Structure 1
Amino acid sequence: MQYKDYYKTLGVARTATADEIKRAYRRLARKFHPDVSKEPDAENRFKEINEANEVLHDPKKRAAYDALGTNWRAGQEFRPPPAGAGAGAQANGGETTDFADLFANIFDRAFRSDGREPRRGRRGDDHTVKTTITLEDAYHGATRQITVEVPDGVVNGQPRFRSRTLNVRIPEGVTPGRQIRLAGQGGASANGGAAGDLFLELDFAPHPHFTLDGKDLKLRLPVAPWEAALGATVTVPTPGGAVSLKIPPSSQSGQKLRLKGRGLPGLPPGDVIALLEIVNPPVINDAARELYRLMAERLAFNPRLELGM
C-alpha cells in the first residue's frame, strides 16, 4: 500500500491552519460528492477526502499523524516513507500494511488508555423530508426524479440546506404519510462513520376526481334524475381505467355504491366508493319548463315530508 499524504489529498501545506483545512475540505467535498459530481472516480475521491479530513481536522489525530513521520512506537515499530515518496509502508518484519489501518490502530492505542474498545465513527443523522406524488404514481408504481431540500450543517447558528435530486422508486399501493427509506442518503458522518438515512414522507397532489381514505378512493358521481329513479348502467372512471357501474332503481343523492378492489393495490386492495349526486337538468326552454310542471302535477311528491312540512 502506498503512504497516504493527507495534506496532499486536501491540497494544503503541512503548516495549514485549521480554517485552511476546513475550507479545502468543503471545496473538495462539494466538487466530488457522488450525488452531484460528474468527475471520474468521484466516489473514491470523496472517500479519500473524508479520510484525510477525519485526521487533519482533529488536533490530537493530526498530531499523532505528524508524529508518524519520525519514529512512532505503540506496540510495534513503524517508519513511513518520506513525504511524497509513495513507497509501500513496511511493518511487522517486512509485511506490507495499509497505512490508514495501521495509523488507526496506533492512534487508538495511544489515545485510548482506558482499556475500552476504540471508538467507531459516529453515524450521520437521519433526515425526513416531505415530497409530493400523484395518485397515478401510487396506483401503478413509478420511478420519479425528486428534488428535496436536506439539512447540510449550520452556518452562523442557522441551519443550512442544500438541494438534492434523487431517482426514487415509488412502490404501488403507497398511502399518504407513508415513508420511503433511502439508506445512506441522510447526513454525512463528521468522523468517518456511516451516513444516516433519508426518509421521504409521501404527500399526494390533489386529484380532480378522487379523494383518498386509506386505500379506498371516493368519487362524487353525478347522475340524472331518471337514472336514479329508473336505474341505469353508467361509465365510471377508476385509476385502472373506466368501468361500468349499475345504478339501482329508486337511488337517492348521498347513496354509496362500491366498486370492489378498484382502489389502491394492496392485500387486500382498496375500493372505489361512488357517492351519488342527483343533478337536475337546467330549464333552458319552454319544453323543459312544461316537463317539470307536469312532474310536479302528476307525481305529487313532497321531499320534506319527513320534516313534517
Structure 2
Amino acid sequence: MTASPVNEREPESAQQAADRRAASGPASKSPTQLAMARFRKDKKSMAALVIVILYLLAAIAGPILKLAGVLDPFSSDQDAIGPDALPSGKWWGITWDHPLGIEPGIGRDVLSRIWLGLTYSLTVALAASVIAVLLGVVLGIIAGYAGGWVDAIIGRLIDLVLAFPQTLLLLAASSVGIALLTDTFHVPAGPLAQGLFVILVLGLFGWTGTARLIRGQVLSLREREFVDAARLYGASRRRIWFKELLPNLWAPVLVTFTLYMPAFISAEAALSYLGVSVRPPTPTLGNILKDSIQYATGDFMYFFMPAFLIALIVVSFNLLGDGLRDALDPKGDR
C-alpha cells in the first residue's frame, strides 16, 4: 500500500493575511499606547506640548547663539536712545538690527535679553522642579511603605516645611544664603550664586505636595501581589522602593513635574520683582518684566513681550499637565 503524498500548504497571500488579522480582532494595546492615544485626541494639550517644546529648544539655543555672536544682551546702543530715555522712532526702536526694539535708558537689544532671560528662567524652574520631585518621590515612597514612626516623622517634617513662609524666608535670608554659598561652598559670586540660592529654596520648600501624593499612592500599592511576591523572594527594601513601586508611580510623577514648572516660573518672576532672584545685568524674564513696568506707557513692546512670554509658558505647562493627567487616568471622564 503506497502512502498518499502530503499536500503542501500553499503560501498565504497578502490579502489573505490581512483578512486573517482582521478576523482575529483588533490587536491589544498597552496602557502607555492607550494613554498616548487619549492624549493625541486632546487638541489643546497637543498645542501646549508644541509650545513647550519650542520654549525648551529656544532656551537651549540661547547660549549657543550668544557664543556665536547672534545674540548680544549686554552691548548698549546709545545712539538709538532719545532725549526722554525712550527709544527714538515711533516703533519703540524696532529695526532689522533690533526686531523687538531696544531697552529704554540703556539701549540694549530687547530680543537678545528676552531670549537669554528665557534660558535663565527655565533653567531655574527646571532645576528647582527636579529637586522638588526627587525629594517628594523618595520621601513619599519611604513614608508610604514603611509606615509607623517613619511615616509620622516624615509627616511632621512636611508640616514643618509648610509652616515656613517661603517668600519671607527668601527675602530675609537671601544675603545670608548667598554669602554661605560663596564663602563656604565656593560658588562664584554673582548670577550663579543668586540663581542657585533661588533653586535651592524653591526645591527644598516645594516637595511637600509630591510627597503627600506619592505617599497616598504607595499606601495602596504596598498591599498588591507583586510587592508581596518581592518580599517572599527576599528583596531588600531599597529594591522594593525603586524597582517595584517607583515604576508604577511614573504617571503622577510626570504630571506633578509639569505642574511644578509653571509654578516655579511664576515664582522666579515674582522673586525678581522683589529683588531676590538673579539681578541685572544678567537677564531673566522676571527682572526684565520688573524693569519694564516703569516704561509700560512709553515703551509698550518692552513691557508686553516678557509678560506675554511668562503668561504663555505658564498656561502651556498647565494645559500640558492637565492633558497628561486626563490621558494617564483610564477611569477619568473624558
Same fold, TM-score > 0.5, yes or no: no
| Greater percentage in helix | 2
Query: Greater relative contact order (Cα 8 A, min sep 6): structure 1 or 2?
Result: 2
- What is the TM-score with the length of structure 2 in the denominator? 0.25
Question: Bigger radius of gyration, 1 or 2?
Answer: 1
| Greater percentage in strand | 1
